[in-house]
Structure 1
């Protein structure tokens, strides 16, 4: 059994986002009403941890819930917000200041886009040869990517262990996403996208912890395509 260790704010915000996705997934397949409170709480906690990808994923989750909750009324809701912001310089300046502070982690980074992860990923890709592409990396040895043993990407860490089979898993995920959209279950597909977006900058899925969430969504999509499931 995998042991969950919360060793950074990034892991903490992933747990909150994963649980938020799971909650909305369960409510949706059970035909329950969508509520905004969990998505707002997820965004608040993600903002407090100052995790950039977490904030993006949380905003995406909140936007998805608002859209599917209000549907066509969403455009009027958005219009009111835009009108309010247009006539309020103080609101606009406050929002810009918040974005700048969060993006720079209150001065710890020079910009929102600055991230050592990009060089880690590039180094990882440079170290891949044909053997590693097919079989992954030898876990009996210690491999460093720009000085880090953690590639800070769930997909790369999955490939590190599983090799080519990880590529198959990614192709399966893309296939299920497309099929869920075709079968008019784009809400579930978008929930999976939220989870994948958050997983793109940390080793948080394909590790045993919280994998049940994306696996459950994939299985739902599979059985839905087989005609063995019907959403009431």
Structure 2
């Protein structure tokens, strides 16, 4: 059996021994608990973050996985029942305190991976302040390329099924496929439908509207893209491709 790398499943002495043994990189996922259309549960981003963090840590090697920050900045989803959002300042304070705590115990590199679109820009903007708070012996890095995430999903969906145009970045064929591969029976497949379709050229303006006017203003059913055609096999390939890309960022 492979050694455990998820810190919350390890004992304190085990973590201390790992750090003493030179395992000083830690991956932190920052997810969300928010609406994902009529067919997906609220925990999509948090659970996807759990899986991505493990896959990235394995690719990096000699790295542990911190507990996922499960609630993020989701103010733009609050028109939909069940969404839980932190204020942006609260979310960033939690992330900063994570970095400070991990640095205190001897981790020398903290790698934040947003698994919720709304967390990307705030984390990128706060990277310098995180580094200052963590101190000179710890480097804090953030994967901050949301466009690349959507691009990876489009590449996989197009190559595997010819459905690249169904990727929109939220509750779409990508996130639906990812949930299918992670949990059997959790997707309400009969409710999967088309939402707001987008092109790469339209995305900057659409993101601006989402953040300023709310998600419901651009997609009443809460879907960006099209959820139809999702499969577990597609989800597995998307997880692997995105983990490869994110790990490459940190290795560079």
Q: Same fold (TM over 0.5)?
A: no
With CA pairs under 8 Å and 6+ residues apart, which has the higher RCO, 1 or 2?
1
Q: Which has the higher helix share?
A: 1
**TM-score normalized by the length of structure 2:** 0.26
**TM-score normalized by the length of structure 1:** 0.27
Q: Which has the higher strand share?
A: 2
